[in-house]
Structure 1
Amino acid sequence: MALRQHAEAAATLFREFGDRWGHLQSCEQLGVLAEIAGDYAAAARLHQDCVRDAEELQLWTSASFGLARLGRIALLTGDLERATEYHEQARRLAAEQSHRPAEQFAVTGLALGARRRGDLETAQTLLRPWLDWNRRFGVDSGTALILAQLGYAAEQRGDTEGAAALHREGLAAARRTGDPRALALALEGLAGAHAAADHPERAACLLGRAAALRDSVGMPLPAAERVDVDRASERARASLGEAEFASAFARGRAGQAVREPDSLTAGRIPHTGAEPGR
């Protein structure tokens, strides 16, 4: 893709010129692209290089982001203990620099780890203040991401109505970003809520639409990031059977709508200061 080509070219030029700051920026982008592609070994190597260079240049905010990205890789490769260590180091460093975006990135990683461990209360407690922060400053991308995570936590607690409300709000924020991957995440979250509420056809359709959005930018969901999607898919497939699931999924991928059940459309979106769904 063009981003990778430009980042690789920039990294080469910065290295030739001896510009370590520029090389750091380029390598960070290459590491993110490797993570998106599911090449976690390459991503870890690139992020480790970024952290080393940032520390030597005393660019502590960049070091915080690099540590948090290493935490994401540890999380995706199943090393939850190391993921927590990296994210906590990143959080402390960001707080020392009073850099709120870097602190948010680290804390979001801690919340992801908590949810992966099944500690839903901790995940929600970590995320709620940052939802308010993103809303206050109009950061739609951050709002969409945090609403998705809160929605998944609500689903895992069995609060399907609350989960759907959070994911619908996240979908509205994602639409404002214009980012297909943000839209896909919100649709996948809604699919999980519908599958848990025994609306499997709607869930399968939403999953198909999300897959089409990810494919449109050449970034399908890597296997390590499919835990929530697979949970929704397995529930919907178990209810529908393979043939009906595949048919609904295909309709969603083609952009054909399926009416949302009334049971998941009524009710207000809950206030974020309380538990989702209350």
Structure 2
Amino acid sequence: MAKMNLGAVAFDAGEHEVAVRLWIDVLEHHRARGTSEGEGIALLNLGLAAYRLGQTDDARKRFTEAEALFDAIGFREHVAHALQGIAATEAAVDRYREAARLLGRAAALLEETGSGASTFDPSLALEVEAIVREQLGEREFASAFSGS
């Protein structure tokens, strides 16, 4: 759908509110047609936009909804992407250990699916990991990341 791509262009240009309007249209389109993958991608994008706009609760809601949807249809790589988004929202409210645990779960899923370090927004995962490592220190980060 063209609006998904137009939203990405607007988002990359820093026009997050424009992107949100376009992606809401995309979300409604996919929900009306029952296309779960498209709905999930729109939710990931809306979660990212909300996160970048400082709307942590809305971002968490969007990412969590995307995670559940992708889990239900077996798209494990996208489950991992949603977990990375949820980790970002956890770090935003100083829940660093939970953020590290979620990043670890996401990394394990990406490894299992052969996706390596893939992410829907490469800067997000790296940014969140750097913040969480700094706040927790290497030892505690490694422990939480591995689920210990």
Q: TM-score, normalised by structure 2?
A: 0.91
Give the aligned residue type for 1:185. H
CA 1:233–1:148 in 2, change beyond 3 Å: closer, same or farther? same
The aligned residue for residue 152 of structure 1 is 48
The aligned residue for residue 209 of structure 1 is 105
Q: CA deviation at 1:248?
A: 0.9
Give the aligned residue type for 2:93. A
Q: Which ranges in structure 1 are unaligned for 5 or more consecutive residues?
A: 1-103, 257-278
The aligned residue for residue 245 of structure 1 is 141
The aligned residue for residue 126 of structure 1 is 22
Q: Which has the higher contact order (CA 8 A, sep 6+)?
A: 2
Q: In the alignment, is the contact (CA less than 8 A) between 1:196 and 1:235 conserved in 2?
A: no
**Alpha-carbon distance between aligned partners in 2 of 1:199 and 1:140, rounded to the nearest angstrom:** 30
**Alpha-carbon distance between aligned partners in 1 of 2:74 and 2:120, rounded to the nearest angstrom:** 25
**Alpha-carbon distance between aligned partners in 2 of 1:208 and 1:185, rounded to the nearest angstrom:** 12
Q: In the alignment, is the contact (CA less than 8 A) between 1:144 and 1:186 conserved in 2?
A: no
Q: In the alignment, is the contact (CA less than 8 A) between 2:110 and 2:118 conserved in 1?
A: no
The aligned residue for residue 220 of structure 1 is 116
Partner deviation per Cα, 1:92-143 (whole Å, 9 max, x = no partner): xxxxxxxxxxxx1x43223223223322111101110110111111111111
Partner deviation per Cα, 1:28-64 (whole Å, 9 max, x = no partner): xxxxxxxxxxxxxxxxxxxxxxxxxxxxxxxxxxxxx
Q: In the alignment, is the contact (CA less than 8 A) between 1:164 and 1:190 conserved in 2?
A: yes
SS in 2 for 1:219: coil
Partner deviation per Cα, 1:192-250 (whole Å, 9 max, x = no partner): 11111111111111111111111112111348951111121122122112221121111
Aligned residues: 148
The aligned residue for residue 5 of structure 2 is 109
CA 1:228–1:123 in 2, change beyond 3 Å: closer, same or farther? same
Partner deviation per Cα, 1:244-266 (whole Å, 9 max, x = no partner): 11211111xxxx7xxxxxxxxxx
Which residue, 90, 98, 103 being the options, matches 1:194? 90
**Alpha-carbon distance between aligned partners in 1 of 2:65 and 2:91, rounded to the nearest angstrom:** 18
Q: In the alignment, is the contact (CA less than 8 A) between 2:63 and 2:85 conserved in 1?
A: yes
Q: Which ranges in structure 2 are unaligned for 5 or more consecutive residues?
A: none
**Alpha-carbon distance between aligned partners in 1 of 2:94 and 2:120, rounded to the nearest angstrom:** 26
Look at both structures and tell me which one has the larger radius of gyration over its CA atoms: 1
Moved over 6 A (4+): none
SS in 1 for 2:134: helix
Q: In the alignment, is the contact (CA less than 8 A) between 1:167 and 1:189 conserved in 2?
A: yes
Q: TM-score, normalised by structure 1?
A: 0.50
Note the aligned Cα RMSD (angstroms).
1.8
